[in-house]
Amino acid sequence: MMTRKEKMLWILYGIVLLLLFLLSSTDLIIKEKKTQIYKISVIIEDASDENYVNFRKGMDRAAIELHADVSFITLYDKGSGEQQRELMLREQQDGCKVLIVSPANGEQIFGLQEDKRINVPLVLLNSETVPGGDGIVETIGFDYEEMGRELGKQILREQTVNKQVHLFREQDPDEVSIRFGDGILSELEQAGCAVVMHESSGKDKLRHAAGQIAVKEGEHAVIIVLDPAGLTETAQAISEAGDDWQIGGLYGRGNTVRLLNYLDRGVIQGLCITDDFSAGYLSVKMAVELAENRIAEDTQKLESRYIRREDLRNVEYEKMLFPIE
């Protein structure tokens, strides 16, 4: 038969076990801090997913590390400001905390903010102008005009100055292509190069123009294409023509696997590339900071690089072009 003291010890022992159980398996005593997950919507103006592979990898990494629920949306109609406006309003209504937007039409975004129809913070990609009003807006992107100037300098180093330069652009170029082209022209025209502008509204016109230039000027021809899609079409046309088309150089910008393959095969002589993985990661990081009512970092201009065929095996560029998720 247990003594009174022994009974008290057993009761005390039971209470201790119960307390330990509560501490280890419930939050009745110590409440665990719940992780806040922020819904972030990304609306891109370009319908081509291949241009955003590394950008999405960066966003996915940030989403995991920073506890964000990221939705990636591309426009059905490339460059449609009206469609982008509708998507922004829809995502806000569905409960997103921050919008990351690559503006198809900056004026429409400005109008939405001024009319207070958009009342969540915005992170703008590759936009030179920040909307006015009381809304919270941050920007992140690349200095495409500086990228164009660097490309112009490289072409002047690699090509003889008496060569005529042909510049290909779309009839309605986007803001990025315009800034990229301005940078190129500032360098080439200052050096006294003759620049011929070609505006195209379709693949066939690009191919036709490239063919005419190649046949007429041959190795004296230098072609620059301002947008990645147009550069891909031009490179494909030159590649398929084989020895029938021999030009002095094809240049442009872009990070897609197809463009890198054309660079590796010598179809493209020089390519401007961007660190899209970092852009994706930092845009989500900035969005989470805004969702938490923290002051995000100042406007960020990320670095771009000019590479040739031999640079593809450079470890530094491999990390930019083929980041590990």
**Tens of pLDDT, residues 118-156:** 888 999 888 776 655 556 888 888 999 999 999 999 999
In terms of pLDDT, which residue wins out, 217 or 155? 155
Q: List Cβ neighbours of 59 (8 Å cut-off, separation of 6 or more).
A: 42, 70, 72, 280, 281, 283, 284
Q: Is the pLDDT of residue 63 over 80?
A: yes
- Choose the most confident range, by mean pLDDT, from 54-58, 109-113, 182-186, 208-212: 182-186
Burial of 12 (0-12, 13-18, 19+ CB in 10 A): exposed
Q: Quick one: pLDDT band at residue 316, thresholds 50, 70, 90?
A: confident
Taking the C-alpha atoms of residue 240 and residue 232, their distance in angstroms, rounded to an integer, is 12
> Taking a C-beta distance cutoff of 8 angstroms, is the pair 247, 218 a contact?
yes
Would you state the pLDDT for residue 156?
92
Q: 6-20, 104-118, 201-215, 294-308: lowest mean pLDDT where?
A: 6-20
Q: Is the pLDDT of residue 73 over 70?
A: yes
pTM: predicted TM-score of the whole model, two decimal places: 0.82
Over residues 173-214, the pLDDT tens digits come to 888 899 999 999 999 999 888 899 988 766 667 778 888 888
Between the CA of residue 10 and those of 4, 16, 91, what are the distances in Å? 10, 10, 60
- Please state the φ and ψ torsions of residue 301, each to the nearest 5 degrees: -105, 115
Taking the C-alpha atoms of residue 137 and residue 284, their distance in angstroms, rounded to an integer, is 14
Would you state the pLDDT for residue 301?
78
Would you state the pLDDT for residue 217?
81
Would you state the pLDDT for residue 1?
55
Q: Quick one: pLDDT band at residue 25, thresholds 50, 70, 90?
A: low
Between the CA of residue 39 and those of 69, 101, 120, 256, 285, what are the distances in Å? 5, 14, 11, 28, 13
Annotate 41-102 with DSSP letters as a single string.
Answer: EEEES---GGGGHHHHHHHHHHHHHHTEEEEEEE-SSTT-HHHHHHHHHHHHHTT-SEEEE-
Counting Cα atoms < 13 Å in the Cβ hemisphere of 28 gives 9
Q: Is the pLDDT of residue 102 over 60?
A: yes
Q: First vs last Cα of the chain: how many Å apart?
A: 67
Q: What 3-state class would DSSP assign to 159?
A: coil
Would you state the pLDDT for residue 143?
92
- Tokens 């209470």 -> residue: 15
Over residues 219-253, the pLDDT tens digits come to 888 999 999 989 999 999 999 988 888 888 999 99
Would you state the pLDDT for residue 168?
93
Q: Is the pLDDT of residue 284 over 90?
A: yes
Q: Stretch 244-265: mean pLDDT, rounded?
A: 92
In terms of pLDDT, which residue wins out, 181 or 24? 181
The helix or strand, by DSSP H or E, that contains position 305, with its residue range, turns out to be strand 304-307
Taking the C-alpha atoms of residue 167 and residue 189, their distance in angstroms, rounded to an integer, is 12
Tokens of 189: 């025209």
Between the CA of residue 83 and those of 49, 76, 276, 313, what are the distances in Å? 17, 8, 24, 41
Q: Stretch 166-175: mean pLDDT, rounded?
A: 87
Extended strands (E) in 112-220: 122-125, 137-142, 165-170, 195-200
Tokens of 295: 């002051």
Would you state the pLDDT for residue 298?
58
DSSP 33: P
